[in-house]
Amino acid sequence: MAEHLLEVRDLSVEFHTAAGTVKAVQNVSWHLDRGETLAILGESGSGKSVSASAVMNLIDMPPGRITSGRVLLNGRDMLAMTAEERRRINGARIAMIFQDPLAHLNPVYTVGWQIAEMVTTHGGAARDAQARALELLGRVGIPDPQAAMGRYPHQFSGGQRQRLMIAMALAMKPDILIADEPTTALDVTVQAQVLALLEELQQETGMGLLLITHDLGVVAEIADRVVVMNNGQIVETGLAAEVYRNPQHPYTRKLIDAAPGKGQMPQARDRSGAPLLRAENLHKHYGAFHALKGVGLTIMPGETVAVVGESGSGKSTLARAILRLDDPDSGSILYRGQDLMTMTPRQIFGLRRDLQMVFQDPTQSLNPRMTVFQLISEAWVIHRDILPKAQWKARVAELLVKVGLRPEHAARYPHQFSGGQRQRIAIARALAMEPKLIVCDEAVSALDVSIQAQVIALLDGLRREFGLSYLFIAHDLPVVRDFADRVIVMKSGQIVDEGPVREIFEAPGHPYTRALLAASLDPDPEVQAARRQARASQEERIPA
Amino acid sequence: MSVTDIQTPSEPRDRSTFSRWLSMLWADKLAFFAALFLLVVVLCALVGPLLFGDLATRQNLRGRNAPPFDLSNGWAYVLGADALGRPLLLRIIVAAQNTMMVAAGAVLCSAVIGSGLGLVAGYSRKRAAQWIMRLGDVIMSFPSLLLAVIVLYMLEPSVANIIIVLAITRIPVYLRTTRAEVLEIRERMFVQAARVMGASDRRIVFRHILPVVLPTLVTIATLDFAFVMLAESSLSFLGIGIQAPEITWGLMVSQGRQYLTTAWWLSFWPGLAIILTTLSLNLLSNWLRIALDPAQRWRLEMRGRRNG
Amino acid sequence: MEAPTGAMQQKKGSRATAVPPPTPEGEEGGHMKTFIGKRALASAISLVGLVILVFFLSRLTGDPTNLYLPLDATTEMREQFRELHGFNDPLVVQFGRYVGALVRGDFGNSIRQARPAMEVVLEAFTWTLWLAAITMTLVTAAAIVIGSLAAFKVGGIFDRIATFFSLIGASAPDFWLAIVAIVIFAVNLHWLPTSGTGTALHWVLPVAVLFVRPFGLILQVVRGSMISVLGSAYVKTARAKGVRTRPIIFVHGLRNAMLPVITVIGDQAAAILNGAVVIETIFGFPGIGKLMIDSILLRDFSVVLAAIMVSALAIFIMNLLIDLAYAALDPRIRY
């Protein structure tokens, strides 16, 4: 049998936690060769990053423990090496980059120092290290590398920070680069650029790339082979295109089916009649920053309007303005013909019943010290006239069933639920108000793909049942494709494109919408391959 | 990777709250014995003066400065006797009441007033918040010794007045902590969610913000209890705190000072009582900090299980 | 009395020492001035309130005449004494006169020592400043090194010993420690003098006793802050880079862990500057704390007020230095 560059054989790791011993991964085996890209695909809790942590010696023991297996680098078992031997491998032969570069870069040292440290740590001279850092900064596309050397991580944008991480990782020309969710927190257009950079660098250096991700699109874009993990075990492995076209395991099929953007798009609606909500010419400044520059929108009864934009586009500011959480500086918001901006606090209080919100992260939007019953029934404590107290218990049970939970969950606290379940609780809380319009601010972005699909299906079903309207804020177009009636695309505080969902997806008018669509990754490797080809030929033409 | 990543939501356990806390306490042996010791101190404070009030004040001129560990005079004299021949052990037990009362009273008053002001200063954006903070600064830099002397001459140095002096000096601690916490918590998503539902300011403050600040306040109060005890002792030691014939541990140390070279035990034992009590409070506070933090509590629950 | 217990008030965010990083260019010069200005204004308001409060409240404690004149002094002599020090006028007039003199830079005279109050105060303050500087330098160095090492292996034997002794240190009443130390080292062993000043040996006991409590408190904060920093994402990155253990603790970790520590160091230093009353009294150390308690007890009002103003100024300057230290340690902080 040929010797692989890196091979993990029968690795099992367990962690001691409050809930007892958790088997994080069981009998996991995979291998990586020079010049290839292997993706480990899995949702949160699948144990997808555990084997990489074992390779990097990053598992804290205790509470972690490696119970079986071997990690072979060129045939040598790393688990049998001394700590000093492993330290010499880290960074020099195997380097790693992480999901949240801001947290993973030391905030108090300059980026030049941090990149140079990689060289000096592994025996390089300080002067060479500086030169190497400068060269790398230029290579990964940081503008004005000389000045960038002396800046701190917080002075860069999210995409640039990930480039800095990559520069640091490549300083010693490692044989292997491990990338743990490298693009998850980034905007779609930036994600495409970072992935392209990784691919380019791999071709240049011939290193093996191990990519850990939850995103089928990322796998389709960059991976040669894929390992699918669920509950700490490998359920399927093979060539990326092969696995997508012909998934063997039911879990893989479920994942592929859950990927958004494949269903029927809703037909355009008739928009005559009185709108439920109409906002006009909203402006909002935060200091010198102009967050909303004259934005307006209309929502009809029973309609789902999606607002899509990247970070800094003003989409969340818009949502908060409409709910009067942050008052806009100027403009008008008419709810059923009444102007919210001129309402008395008393009128606003009455209005709260009709306008509700579901937040991005249910871990933070549910008070950790309240039970599910208290969370849901709070609506009726505040608005006494909705429901007499005798019926609260029954109604909470009913709402829990409606969002796919069980009545006995009412006595529990939020931390006893998974992320998807928590978002269901948040939805039940919003429904308790019996609202007309629910503003969903990135309500599914923090959830796993398969959970995302379930929550969207739930929201859609509730809309039909109660005749609700949604204002759905998202950073990504595919998510809203199967669900929204109308799509509004925002950029830098302005609306750049707006129309029925079909028009936006099938005949996008604005170049920015086209760029967003092009940058979003399709889960099908063949589609992505075709897009890459198209991009490449386009680039060839442009410089000429 | 973090451990919580791979945790599945656990089923709620059926054990009662009390036994769960007890087992968490048992998991930290030092904290367990600290709590036990404090329980003894509190018992002394409650029943000590009733049981030994007379014995502890009866003078016995033959037993003046009797050395410790001599059981010929009876068990009450095991720690020796003071300059008037009164048994030190019983005096320490009786003095526990004043010592505890002053500390508990001062901590309670300063915690309630300080955190109340802190809630206002943190939640309202109005000018009142600014004035509260300036007031905190003034109190902070007002010499507590002067305050004690003023009270001593204006009013009488009773337990209640010492409580007032100490409570005033400790208000800024709670004020600053509460305000800092509130400033952070009021921006959290669940507070926003409550606002979207139309919750009143009062409801947000008392139902959503206070319960989240409370664990921090409890932890600080435990630590501060120890601090106030030391402060009271210092005042008594300097002669501007509690006055004889009332006794506190601090006063006992001070009274024994002039016999330092001939009868060290007069100052030593009450000082040791102070140290053990403050040490216990510090240990308990460290434990509380972990036990009240849902993200850290597993450390105790895990250890508890392994031992049990 | 002593310091606010800072152990709990750990500030969020993070911050080091070993490798001096290039300082960012001075893009904040102007903001810095406004920041200092605002802070000075807030402190000045507090100080004015404090002076007014102290002036009137301190006079409630009684007339100093009887304390300074012999028991058999005649009514005439008493009247003369009062006239001389202006105690006969209504309080408001006395206050007006005091403020008037203040504006001219006159802080009044000490009744007890019959010389300018400010002169008396500055003399005492110099002693205390030295005491604070020596003690806090030792405390800071010891607490940082031991606390960091304890945090590196949480629950290890070194950690347990360090934690236990720091807790005892934080729990010990200083006056008790002082008299126990005197009994052992001065009375029984005759190694060190009991009180006074003069030789270097006179400093050993006061510094050693003052060392104990701040050391215990600061060590706890260093340890706690270091534990959370060592669990942070960027330390994980450093491990993935193959950085050695010592630079991980003292280069990557320490600078980030220092912010909450600096806050507590400031609190503790302020406590000593405000007067380590008990220690100075027991060891007969002529510092500001002893001066304060003597002046309060003997109604030497001008000295009390001058001492309060000097302490307030010192603490204002120290807080400013601490803010500057924050900004120097953490490039994200700008004023």
| Domain CATH code at residue C304 | 1.10.3720.10
Res B156 pLDDT > 90: no
CATH number at B241 reads 1.10.3720.10
Residue C82 sits in the same domain as residue C122: no
Q: Flag whether B13 is in a domain.
A: no
Nearest CA in chain A to C233: A104
Q: Flag whether B257 is in a domain.
A: yes
Q: Flag whether B75 is in a domain.
A: yes
- Count how many pairs of residues, chain B against chain C, have C-beta atoms within 8 Å: 142
**Residue type, position C219, single letter:** L
- What is the spatial distance between Cα A402 and Cα A468, in angstroms, rounded to a whole number? 15
Q: Which residue has the tokens 């102009």?
A: A290
Indicate the residue of B145, B224, B261 with minimum beta-carbon distance to C1. Answer: B145
- What is the spatial distance between Cα C70 and Cα C81, in angstroms, rounded to a whole number? 12
- A261 token code pair: 């953007």
Which residues from C are below 8 Å from A118, CB to CB? 241
Per-residue pLDDT of chain C (335 residues; tens, 9 = 90+): 333 333 333 333 333 323 333 333 334 456 777 878 887 888 888 888 888 888 888 777 777 777 777 777 777 877 777 777 777 777 888 888 888 888 887 877 777 777 888 888 898 899 899 889 999 999 999 999 999 989 888 778 888 888 888 888 888 888 888 888 888 887 778 777 777 777 777 788 888 888 988 898 889 888 888 888 888 889 999 999 999 988 998 899 989 988 888 888 888 888 888 767 888 888 888 888 888 888 888 888 888 888 888 888 888 888 888 888 888 888 887 76
Residue A22's DSSP bridge partners are: A15
Indicate the residue of A22, A323, A418 with minimum beta-carbon distance to B196. Answer: A323
The reported pLDDT for the residue numbered A31 is 93
Nearest CA in chain A to B4: A17
- Give the residue from C260, C157, C143, C163 showing the smallest Cα distance to B283: C163
Going by DSSP bridges, is the β-strand pair A304-308/A289-299 parallel, antiparallel, or unpaired? unpaired
Work out the pLDDT band at B213, boundaries 50, 70, 90: confident
In this prediction, residues B194-216 reach a mean pLDDT of 88
Residue B234's domain comprises: 20-307
Residue C78 sits in the same domain as residue C145: no
- Count how many pairs of residues, chain A against chain B, have C-beta atoms within 8 Å: 104
Residue C162 sits in the same domain as residue C293: yes
Residue C194 sits in the same domain as residue C300: yes
A neighbour chains, 3+ CB pairs within 8 Å: B, C
- What is the spatial distance between Cα A306 and Cα A282, in angstroms, rounded to a whole number? 17
Going by DSSP bridges, is the β-strand pair A176-180/A208-213 parallel, antiparallel, or unpaired? parallel
Q: Flag whether C73 is in a domain.
A: yes
Residue C161's domain comprises: 117-329
- Give the residue from B248, B240, B243, B246 showing the smallest Cα distance to B271: B248
Q: Flag whether B8 is in a domain.
A: no
Residue C158 sits in the same domain as residue C285: yes
- What is the spatial distance between Cα B54 and Cα B50, in angstroms, rounded to a whole number? 8
For chain B, say whether A98 makes contact (Cβ under 8 Å): no
Q: Flag whether C334 is in a domain.
A: no
B neighbour chains, 3+ CB pairs within 8 Å: A, C
Cβ-defined contact of C237 to A104 (cutoff 8 Å): yes
Cβ-defined contact of A106 to C19 (cutoff 8 Å): no
Taking only the tens place, the pLDDT of each residue in C288-301 is 888 888 888 888 88
For chain C, say whether B141 makes contact (Cβ under 8 Å): yes
Q: Flag whether C18 is in a domain.
A: no
For chain B, say whether A13 makes contact (Cβ under 8 Å): no
The reported pLDDT for the residue numbered C23 is 37
Of B284 and B151, the one with more pLDDT: B284
Residue C76 sits in the same domain as residue C174: no
How many CB atoms within 10 Å of residue A289? 11
- Give the CA dihedral C232, C235, C237, C242, nearest 10 degrees: -160
- What is the spatial distance between Cα A104 and Cα A116, in angstroms, rounded to a whole number? 16
- What is the spatial distance between Cα C331 and Cα C315, in angstroms, rounded to a whole number? 24
Which residues from B are below 8 Å from C315, CB to CB? 141
- What is the spatial distance between Cα A81 and Cα A83, in angstroms, rounded to a whole number? 7
Q: Flag whether B24 is in a domain.
A: yes
Which residues from C are below 8 Å from A113, CB to CB? 19, 21-22
Which residues from A are below 8 Å from C240, CB to CB? 56, 58, 90-91, 95-96
Residue C76 sits in the same domain as residue C183: no
Q: Flag whether C34 is in a domain.
A: no
The reported pLDDT for the residue numbered A62 is 67
Residue C140 sits in the same domain as residue C206: yes
Last residue of a domain, one of C71, C103, C135: C103
For chain B, say whether A47 makes contact (Cβ under 8 Å): yes
Lowest-confidence region among A510-514, B28-32, B74-78: B74-78
CA distances from C60 to A353, B160, C190, C296 (A): 59, 20, 45, 12
Cβ-defined contact of C14 to A107 (cutoff 8 Å): yes
Q: Looking at CA atoms only, how far is residue B176 from chain A in angstroms?
A: 23
Cβ-defined contact of B302 to A352 (cutoff 8 Å): no
Last residue of a domain, one of C80, C103, C126: C103
Cβ-defined contact of A382 to B294 (cutoff 8 Å): no
Q: Count the domains in chain C.
A: 2
Residue C122 sits in the same domain as residue C270: yes
For chain B, say whether C315 makes contact (Cβ under 8 Å): yes
Q: Which residue has the tokens 């970072």?
A: A194
Residue C99 sits in the same domain as residue C125: no
Cβ-defined contact of B198 to A47 (cutoff 8 Å): no
Q: Which residue pairs from A423-427 have beta carbons closer than 8 angstroms and sit at least 24 positions apart in sequence?
A: A423/A358, A423/A362, A423/A447, A423/A451, A423/A455, A424/A455, A424/A458, A425/A362, A425/A366, A425/A372, A425/A375, A425/A376, A426/A358, A426/A359, A426/A362, A426/A365, A426/A366, A426/B193, A427/A358, A427/A403, A427/A455, A427/A458, A427/A459, A427/A462
Last residue of a domain, one of C79, C103, C127: C103
Work out the pLDDT band at A417, boundaries 50, 70, 90: confident
CA distances from C64 to A534, C59, C88, C107, C137 (A): 96, 9, 12, 18, 40
Indicate the residue of A88, A92, A98 with minimum beta-carbon distance to C233. Answer: A98
- What is the spatial distance between Cα B43 and Cα B49, in angstroms, rounded to a whole number? 11
Q: Count the domains in chain B.
A: 1
Do the interacting molecules here have an ipTM over 0.90? no
Residue C122 sits in the same domain as residue C154: yes
Which residues from B are below 8 Å from C279, CB to CB? none
Q: Flag whether B9 is in a domain.
A: no
Work out the pLDDT band at A508, boundaries 50, 70, 90: confident
Q: Flag whether C322 is in a domain.
A: yes
CB-CB contact of A277 with A298 (8 Å): yes
For B:41-80, CB contacts with C below 8 A are none
Which residues from C are below 8 Å from A109, CB to CB? 19, 21, 255
- What is the spatial distance between Cα A384 and Cα A370, in angstroms, rounded to a whole number? 19
Which residues from C are below 8 Å from B234, CB to CB? 1-2, 173-175, 277-278
Residue C153 sits in the same domain as residue C234: yes
The reported pLDDT for the residue numbered A93 is 92
Q: Flag whether B11 is in a domain.
A: no
Q: Looking at CA atoms only, how far is residue C235 from chain A in angstroms?
A: 8
Indicate the residue of A117, A151, A152 with minimum beta-carbon distance to C241. Answer: A117
Indicate the residue of B7, B199, B211 with minimum beta-carbon distance to A382. Answer: B199
Cβ-defined contact of C241 to A56 (cutoff 8 Å): no
Lowest-confidence region among A8-12, A346-350, B252-256, C271-275: C271-275
Indicate the residue of A22, A368, A369 with minimum beta-carbon distance to B7. Answer: A22
Which residues from A are below 8 Å from C328, CB to CB? none
- What is the spatial distance between Cα C128 and Cα C125, in angstroms, rounded to a whole number? 5
For chain B, say whether C298 makes contact (Cβ under 8 Å): no
Indicate the residue of B198, B212, B301 with minimum beta-carbon distance to A18. Answer: B301
Cβ-defined contact of A352 to B1 (cutoff 8 Å): no
Q: Looking at CA atoms only, how far is residue A291 from chain C in angstroms?
A: 23
Most confident of A115-119, A347-351, C78-82, C284-288: A115-119
For chain B, say whether C274 makes contact (Cβ under 8 Å): yes
Mean pLDDT of chain C: 79
Percent of residues, chain A, with pLDDT higher than 90: 34
The reported pLDDT for the residue numbered C10 is 34
Cβ-defined contact of A87 to C255 (cutoff 8 Å): no
Percent of residues, chain A, with pLDDT higher than 70: 97
Q: Please name each of the domains of chain A with its CATH number.
A: 269-354+435-509 (3.40.50.300), 369-434 (no CATH)
Cβ-defined contact of C8 to B223 (cutoff 8 Å): yes
